[in-house]
Structure 1
């Protein structure tokens, strides 16, 4: 699909201004502007129809094997259950043709677990599609149909989008082919939705409904700026809050699949967490922009570059970091082997480091939180501060195994917290404390010694391991 040479909305507005300047009445100028806008929207829609496809899938539902089904006596009376037709589940979605030789992008959840995938184009031709690659971490999938000289979408620059821009969403909701709706960009860089691991969604108010997933999000020039993914809804239908995967992320994942046969992601060897107002105070920062390092992989790129637990990364590859998720996305999209300049805040000072990126290998290990805690131990020496009522014992290999922690570490594990403890509700039984106020805790004696120096109304910063993952917490009197 060729890009329109001029933005349709800008052209429509310009037409209205010129009409007014030529001594038309305001009413006449408004009519010309709306007429031009209508014509231009129709032109974009006509062009986009040819690149948006209908995707229908089917999968066999696995049914439990009947008892005695292999018994000859059973078969004599009931026949062979295996010979019966197995039920199939079907679903509908959308996709976008992105190359003339038949590559199509869609959402992973549209084709997940499908046995058969059928693609129907705007001229009603049908093709069996094969899966080139899927990526559940971004909900992106690439399909291939065997055809040549197909119309293909032109990618727009999703990095330059602004809230308020007019967009068109096209797909096949409820099987209604090539439905187009219009709206605006309501927000950018939406994350924390819990839908995928790497989130950088475009929020739109253009109505999208079941079946729109995988369809095209277009800008005013008819360029592909996103792939429609999901909606927030209490009714199951559109309520004006929809989300699309930005075109840059789509193209990066697609290109990796096609050129390398897999999704290649950068690797820094760190665990990070977002900054809260309490953490900003504890680390003497000026704002919540950045990402706090809570764990560093031994021998990984970050450790080799000199980064430390407790550092706050404020810039990555000469770009300021606004959120933890933003850093996570940038790291993933960085080619392995690239030398990346980073700026960190450490003890009130700004330092510059260079990280040589590695390659993320497979699914990161994530331990499930364990309910079992270590045997009860005598309460620690009584303190009159926010750790009052917190009892701990030394961490052992047996305790690490019970808590599902798959790495060696030293510290103390919380065995109990009294009902009147200020830490109740922040700390939990089974948490492993490895730092107190930026000082290492490797034993109960360390814990007792450090905690005894903390004042009654002093906020306390702890580095803990919970459910196998490190994180900073503050116990505050506020």
Structure 2
């Protein structure tokens, strides 16, 4: 198997011009300054006087041929900022490569070389059917040695290492080191099921924890780069958050699964289809959303313009809506994207108010112009203002602060503290152990959270 696959794996080297100003330089002292004489003497003595002109930096990585006409896959970080990319084949033929396209979100890049003969191409495998415990083989260019083969098993799947928004890495204990980046990870049929991308290593060498971009994610990116020179991902137009056990209980869900819609982008596909803030997306195009971070990957993999069914949990019932997906990149360029989920706001700077009504450890007051000015709330804000929070309450634990605004309780708009209390009492009366609130924190970003129904 190694004998058959080695000719399709290539070594990649890059060169990059380095600004000489980044190296050691003499500070700009006036002529005749004793400090200037000191630095002149220091650089002359140690032979470190800056040399004029740019310097060249080189780096090494791996790649593999996916088309006999000369298309080669590698990691984006292997060729990032490169002025020149050289691909060395298994027979030591060196070819200059053109960068066809790159995707920073998945760390994948596509190169093209011109050869005088068809090149031995590899085939994609199905990374979805790969199981933990399956044997795998990695081939690459560790430390510039070239053509190195290692074997191991799949240690885990769907790893999120905070490398990007679509993290879904295959983890393997096949030895992967610096220089293996961009190389293929094979199943035992010789098909590429991953692109070796990262390692976890306190020492800098292999400790048996390597990560590969799964083939099913990479091949769609590669097809887009090949056809369009850029990616074209599906776009739904929602800002989502995790469904915690408390949120699930407050909504009447049997399990903490799905993706809670915190807000819907105006003019986006979700808005047009009728998806609302407070909906929980349970399935997308027939695929279950077991956890929140699965939804962006599935949406991104779906064809732009496709009309797909989306099942949501709304008002204690399942409903299905049809959504025609937009294009993520076009939405980014036009500035339509919903803002990222915001963390808890910082403590309010205003003096706590103790004259309002207290509910679940929060002192609440109706939103007035004076309060909007006091807490610097955005124009058009509506709801009930939190003016003080009991430090021992669940509200404080969840990060609520003076100046936050409660917009909805139990998925109903509120305008007065009595509205909040009534909704809380209703949730308590229905046997819930928590109540769902839509809260506007700093700026105009809103998110859902569930507060325990304390006495």
Match of 2:167 in 1: 199
Task: Work out the CA distance in 1 between the residues paired with 2:376 and 2:209.
Answer: 43
Provide the C-alpha distance between the structure 2 equivalents of 1:57 and 1:90, rounded to a whole number of angstroms. Answer: 5
User: By how many angstroms is 1:228 displaced?
Assistant: 0.7
- Structure 1 length-normalised TM: 0.78
Instruction: Give the distance between the partners of 1:116 and 1:336, measured in 2 at CA.
Output: 33
Equivalent positions of 1:342-361 (< 5 A) are 342-360=310-328, 361=331
Task: Tell me how far apart the structure 2 counterparts of residues 85 and 130 of structure 1 sit (CA, whole Å).
Answer: 26
User: Pairwise mapping of residues 40-51 of structure 1 onto structure 2 (< 5 A)?
Assistant: 44-51=1-8
Q: Is the counterpart of residue 386 in structure 1 residue 350 in structure 2?
A: no
1:362 has 2:332 as partner: yes
Partner of 2:135: 166
Partner of residue 472 from structure 1, selected from 438, 445, 448:
448
Q: When the two structures are aligned, how many residues end up with a matched partner? A: 426
Between the aligned partners of 1:275 and 1:345, the Cα distance in structure 2 is 12
Name the CA distance, whole Å, in 1 between partners of 2:7 and 2:394: 63
Q: 1:233 to 1:451 in 2, by over 3 A?
A: farther
CA-atom RMSD in angstroms: 3.5
State the shift of 1:180 in Å: 1.3
CA contact (8 A) 1:380 1:392 kept: no
Q: Is the 8 A contact 1:206 1:242 kept in 2?
A: yes
- 2:435 is the counterpart of 1:460: yes
Match of 1:434 among 407, 414, 421: 407
From 154, 165, 168, give the equivalent of 1:185. 154
Q: Secondary structure at the match of 2:220?
A: helix
Check 1:50–1:433 CA distance in 2 against 1; reply closer, same or farther (3 A cut).
Answer: farther
TM-score w.r.t. the length of structure 2 is 0.82
**Cα deviations by residue, 1:397-434 (Å, 9 ceiling, x for unpaired):** 9879978x8x9653456555343443223124364432
Alignment partners' CA distance in 2, 1:365 and 1:83: 49
TM superposition shift of 1:132: 1.2
Once the two structures are superposed, what CA deviation does each residue of 1:315-370 show, in whole Å capped at 9, x if it has no partner? 11122222222221111121222110111111221111111111112274647878
Alignment of 1:26-105 (within 5 A): 44-62=1-19, 63=21, 84-105=52-73
The 1-side partners of 2:348 and 2:239 are apart by 24
Kindly state the Cα deviation for residue 279 of structure 1 after the two structures are TM-superposed.
1.5
Partner of 1:50, secondary structure, is helix
Equivalent residue, structure 2, for 1:449: 419
| Match among 240, 264, 269 for residue 301 of structure 1 | 269
| Cα 1:422–1:248 shift into 2, 3 Å | closer
SS at match of 2:332: coil
| Secondary structure of residue in 2 paired with 1:259 | helix
Q: Aligned-pair distance for 1:82? A: 9.7
Describe the superposition over 1:226-257 as per-residue Cα deviations: whole angstroms up to 9, x where unpaired: 10111223322222222111112111011111
Q: Quote the residue 1:40 is aligned against.
A: none
- 2:44 matched to which residue of 1? none
CA contact (8 A) 1:168 1:182 kept: yes
Q: Structure 2: any 5+ residue segments left out of the alignment?
A: 41-48
Q: Secondary structure at the match of 2:304?
A: coil
Distance change (3 Å), C-alpha of 1:349 and 1:286: same
Q: Is contact 1:218–1:225 with CA below 8 Å preserved after alignment?
A: yes
Check 1:327–1:458 CA distance in 2 against 1; reply closer, same or farther (3 A cut). closer
Do the aligned partners of residues 439 and 115 (structure 1) sit closer, same or farther apart at CA in structure 2, a change above 3 Å counting? same
